[in-house]
Amino acid sequence: MTTAALPRAPQPGADVASTFVVATSCARCGAPLDFAEGSNAVRCAHCGTVLLVTGRRRVLRWAIRPHTTALEAQKIASFAHGSARAGAPPRLLFVPYYRLTAEELVWRRERVRRASDELESERPCDEGPRLLRALRGVARPREGDVELALTSRVLERSFLACDALAPLASWSLGVRTGVLRVELFARDALEREGTVLEPTLDPDAALAHALAPQVPGDVVQRDVLRVVLALVWFPLWVVPAAQRTVVVIDGVTGSLVAREAAATLVDEQVARRDGAGDGEHVVGFRPLCCPNCGWDFALRAADVVFHCASCERTWELRGEDLQPIASDVVMPTAVDASDALPRLPVWEVRGAVRVRDDAAGRVAAPPCGLPDRLFAPAFAWRGVDRLCDLGVRLARGAPASPDLELVKDMALTGCSLDRADAVTLARQVALALLLDDANVRFAAAHGRPAPEVAIEGATAKLLWLPFAGDAYSVRDPYTGYALPRRTVAALLDAPPADRRATRDP
């Protein structure tokens, strides 16, 4: 059997958060095709077709097949309970769970910890706020002082989509997502094996529940990026037992979930099904090629924006479609002039920036020191807080009108941040610029609410900036902010597309 190698979506924190393996078949040749959850593009190992995975920003639908048979579930229930009814056939239920993955960006209050003044004096003061405080003559925080710190982490949460099922099923899928294989949800196929239960929690309420802040510590401001919400139907065996009770068995591991659950609860959930639920998944496949000229795009699993080197147009993945967006390629500076420099994508966000002070309840224009445009780096990176740091530096140092390339026929690095997430990251960049003011930062660190930033009428244009490189790092062209080359290398190694795309199967 031929299967496709799993493309790793180079998303920040991908090594921390576990991902499903999605098992399906190639839309062109029908061969088995596996890909990592969250991938936007995949290549079939059998026919070589490169496919775009559609359904972005939708509530995805997955299903997990049982690994435990009805006979095995009957034996496990008899051993666990001792009074499973002989001859009563087990019932297979597919129970809905919501699952959310996202990246969280948090400003929080933390106490300064310093090992010794000697070690601190040897550390170069060349990063962000510390450098600004040194240049402005602001005193360095002492050990024990309260300071603001920006951190990021990957969120992964799963929970029942029907509260009434809590006595029957585990509340969460747990950490098993890294080893589970899921399939595209197909109601008819699942109904032939068992009973598909319906979620009672609507997607908006599920998203609000999943994104409820659970970060320990004193949180000042919080935002989330790259949010993916999915419904996962998980198999459970329900074995009738004595006195109108049932034994619930995990359909994947065969472990005991509930020893004496009420049989009436199962009957109620089965009876309330009205058959009006959506019957199919929302994920689809289409050739990964330019909608305008048919030229192949480079295969990068995490990309949401694709640039065509043939007709020089740029496209963003939205739901099932590729939509055109504005983009420019910035020309290298005279010092680093070279066609071999890596071009990394950065969103330029413009709009009316408004700042609301929670303490005073006033909405006003930002201070005069805040630039009229903000930058949101859009390439995949392990920590979103580092991308925010880079955005702050670009907002201060980027020229108002950089020289642009006349043609955009070169290979460009993939973009893993769409416009909606770019505006969210730009708000965090604006907040970081406001917190450079010592008075604002001190007030927020000592209990006053941080200013809330809004960008009215935000527009975003994608820029590819020429980063200067050496053997160990790549640096942005305006401020010299360095990124480790070995981490950026994964973004630069994808081969450019050099052939015409195959037609729709």
User: DSSP code of 83?
Assistant: -
Ranges assigned E (strand) in 39-169? 41-43, 50-54, 60-63, 91-111, 146-160
Average pLDDT over residues 384-395: 90
**Dihedral (CA of 14, 17, 23, 27) sign:** negative
* Residue 381 near residue 103 (C-beta atoms within 8 A): no
For residue 501, pLDDT over 60 is answered with no
Angle at which helix 438-445 crosses helix 128-136, to 10 degrees, equals 120
Q: What is the mean pLDDT of residues 201-215?
A: 87
Q: How far is 403 from 87, CA to CA, in rounded Å?
A: 79
Question: φ, ψ for residue 136 (rounded to 5)?
Answer: -90, 0
DSSP summary character for residue 180: -
CA neighbor of 277 nearest in space, from 367, 170, 186, 342: 186
pTM score, whole prediction: 0.83
In which region does residue 432 sit, left (phi positive, over 0), alpha (psi from -120 to 50) or beta (all else)?
Answer: alpha
Q: Are 3 and 374 in contact (CB under 8 A)?
A: no
Residue 233 has pLDDT above 90, yes or no: yes
Looking at the DSSP bridge assignments, the partners of residue 314 are 307, 325
Give the residue from 30, 57, 46 showing the smallest Cα distance to 319: 57
Residue 136, pLDDT > 50, answer no
Q: What's the pLDDT score for residue 116?
A: 44
Q: What is the CA radius of gyration of the chain?
A: 26
Helix (H) or strand (E) holding 235: strand 218-240
pLDDT digits (tens, 9 = 90+) for 299-350: 888 899 998 888 889 999 988 889 999 999 988 875 555 555 678 899 999 9
Q: Which pLDDT does position 194 carry in this prediction?
A: 92
**Average pLDDT value for the chain:** 79
The two most distant CA atoms of the chain are separated, in Å, by 84
Which of these, 258, 206, 253, lies nearest to 232 by C-alpha position? 206
Tens digits of residue pLDDT in 164-207:
888 888 888 875 666 778 999 988 889 999 999 999 999 999 99
For the CA atoms of 422, 337, 402, 353, the dihedral, rounded to the nearest 10 degrees, stands at 30
